[in-house]
Amino acid sequence: MLTKTINILLLFVLATLACAQNRDSVTGCIAGNVTMEFKPALLSGKEVRYYVWNKVRGVNKDPSFAKFEPRFSPQLEIYFNEEHQVQNRIFHIPEKPATLYLTDLRKSDQENYTLIISYFDYIGVPTEYIIDLQVQDVCFEKPKAVGKCAVSTCYTGENGVLKVLKTPSSTVQAVKGYKQVKVCDDKTSGSYSCCNTAGTCLVQVFQESM
Ligand SMILES: *[C@@H]1O[C@H](CO)[C@@H](O)[C@H](O)[C@H]1NC(C)=O
Ligand SMILES: *[C@@H]1O[C@H](CO)[C@@H](O)[C@H](O)[C@H]1NC(C)=O
């Protein structure tokens, strides 16, 4: 009885550990790029038949949206493009079969992506790996020093604005997706606000030779 309880407990601990290892979280900025590196624990000695990526589309709807079948084609196949709108924004290289590169991120890309791997000559539980992709709708990192300049990028998506507060004047610039800010002299030093359409702003102070 005691052995059984311990066994069950052990199984539970192992399952929890396995779960902890087969998921990851990736954060990207709107209009920016992200690398989703799935790290499944492959079955040794088995050749992969295909890699399929799932993304929930609602109940009773086929969740698969991309497939890579190495023996069949070097290209990633995309399904339900009308719905996902990832064509021309998603990249894949055969050398890194489990990695997806997503560009020009949209808020609607924020989802859980599950990679499911199927093998030749194997009928059993397929290997899975989940990436929880979070898309921030405004990003403005602390400026980095590059030579004597201070550099950062303001990400807002479409119709964002960059407000530059500098006494005695202030200016407003349009941001189409994202805009790099580079401050190399005293004239352009100041406080910059990166704002999205919803009016959410992030402020950074830029000074030359930081
Ligand atoms: C994202 O990737 C695309 C294609 O490689 C590139 O043209 C673009 O400049 C990148 N965007 C950013 C914000 O780096
Ligand atoms: C992914 O799934 C987890 C756990 O079910 C959930 O907490 C999270 O909000 C989901 N992420 C997205 C982007 O939907």
pLDDT for position 191: 94
Written as one string, the DSSP assignment of 146-201 is ETTEEEEEEEEEEEEEEEEEETTEEEEEEEEEEEEEEE-SGGG-EEEEEE-TT--E
pLDDT for position 4: 54
Please say if the pLDDT value at position 20 is more than 70.
no
Helices (H), the chain: 2-21, 81-84
| Same-domain status, 92 and 158 | no
| Same-domain status, 65 and 119 | yes
Tell me which of 81, 115, 136 is where a domain ends. 136
Domain that holds residue 58: 24-136
| Same-domain status, 107 and 63 | yes
pLDDT for position 205: 95
Q: Cα separation of 111 and 103, whole Å?
A: 15
The preferred substitution site among 22, 111, 132 for testing ligand 2, maximizing ligand atoms within 8 Å of CB, is: 132
Tell me which of 115, 136, 157 is where a domain ends. 136
| Same-domain status, 36 and 67 | yes
| Same-domain status, 81 and 105 | yes
Lowest mean pLDDT among 40-49, 53-62, 144-153: 53-62
| Same-domain status, 92 and 152 | no
| Same-domain status, 156 and 129 | no
Mean pLDDT of the chain: 89
| Same-domain status, 195 and 100 | no
Q: Cα separation of 129 and 115, whole Å?
A: 5
Paired with 127 in beta bridges are 117
Q: Which two tokens mark 119?
A: 């093998």
Tell me which of 136, 153, 172 is where a domain ends. 136
Residues above pLDDT 70, as percent of the chain: 89
Ligand 2 environment, Cβ below 6 A: 110-112, 132, 134
Q: Is 103 in the pocket of ligand 1 (CB under 6 A)?
A: yes
Q: Which residue's CA is the closest to the ligand 1 atom numbered 3?
A: 103
Query: Considering the domain boundaries, does residue 159 fall inside one?
Result: yes
Please say if the pLDDT value at position 82 is more than 90.
no
| Same-domain status, 147 and 44 | no
pLDDT for position 109: 94
> Which candidate, 22, 21, 24, 38, places its Cα nearest to that of 96?
38
Does residue 22 contact residue 42 with C-beta atoms inside 8 Å? no
Q: Cα separation of 177 and 39, whole Å?
A: 30
- pLDDT tens readout for residues 156-203: 999 999 999 876 678 999 999 999 999 998 888 999 999 999 999 999
7 versus 72: the higher-pLDDT residue is: 72
Does residue 125 contact residue 109 with C-beta atoms inside 8 Å? no
Domain count, the chain: 2
Q: Which two tokens mark 24?
A: 């990851």
Q: How far apart are the CA of 104 and the centre of ligand 1, in A?
A: 7
Residue 187 sits at φ, ψ, to 5 deg, of -60, -40
Query: Considering the domain boundaries, does residue 78 fall inside one?
Result: yes
Paired with 194 in beta bridges are 162, 202
Q: How far apart are the CA of 81 and the centre of ligand 1, in A?
A: 21
Instruction: Output the domain CATH number for residue 87.
Output: 2.60.40.10
Q: Cα separation of 66 and 57, whole Å?
A: 13
- Is the omega angle on the peptide bond into residue 63 within 30 degrees of 0, that is, cis? no
| Same-domain status, 109 and 151 | no
| Same-domain status, 84 and 151 | no
Paired with 50 in beta bridges are 118
Q: Is 89 in the pocket of ligand 1 (CB under 6 A)?
A: no
| Same-domain status, 131 and 143 | no
Query: Considering the domain boundaries, does residue 100 fall inside one?
Result: yes
- pLDDT tens readout for residues 95-137: 999 999 999 999 999 999 999 999 999 988 889 999 999 999 9
Query: Considering the domain boundaries, does residue 38 fall inside one?
Result: yes
Instruction: Indicate the pLDDT class of residue 210, thresholds 50, 70 and 90.
Output: low
Task: Provide the whole-model pTM.
Answer: 0.85
Q: Is 178 in the pocket of ligand 1 (CB under 6 A)?
A: yes
Please say if the pLDDT value at position 18 is more than 70.
no
